[in-house]
Structure 1
Amino acid sequence: MNNSVHGMTKIVAILSYATLLGWLIAMMLHDKHKSSFTTFHLRQSLGLIITGALLALVPLIGWLMNLAVLFAWFYAIYYALQGRKEKVPFLGDCYQEYLDFIK
């Protein structure tokens, strides 16, 4: 385990990627275990959830583009497991900027 990321912080970050329910639970736990690491992953995860939901509304091509969201989700959870802050490709910067209400 990465020395800079403690156990509960890492669990909260990983849990945020476990569907919307997991994100909500992680958000509640984040209030008790705040860190820049969990804030980062909560933003990335919510961004992926919103992107996936919006793409699901677009017939055919949206479904295909959701494969990219699935790849990004695996990418993000891999780095959360590693205890690292890595933005998802293409939209990660936007997630950090526009979801800054998550503190």
Structure 2
Amino acid sequence: MSSTNKGMTDPPERGECGAASRGVLLPENGSKRILIGVLAIFVGFLGIHKFVLGYIKEGIVQLVFTAVTFGFGGLIGLVEGIIYLTRSDEAFYQTYQAGKRSWF
């Protein structure tokens, strides 16, 4: 028996991801999708997820909107959290981190 596995591909090296093999470059620290999604769902009414993404103005708007609407503005954070978690890492990075899309 030969020691090579014909027809099987080698697993990716440590640190590689499927995105790199498709020509999409992610930063070394990867996407913040999970962190941002969870923050948006649980404390989105405070706009914390906006601040972590670097959207200071949008975070303040979210916080003020939540205060003015007596908490109902927090639904925006819930919806955004669900949207963030349903996107792939590549799509999240391209849209919200590289593309700087601040709302939805």
TM-score normalised by the shorter chain: which range applies?
0.3 to 0.5
TM-score normalised over the length of structure 2: 0.39
TM-score normalised over the length of structure 1: 0.39
Which has a greater percent of helix? 1
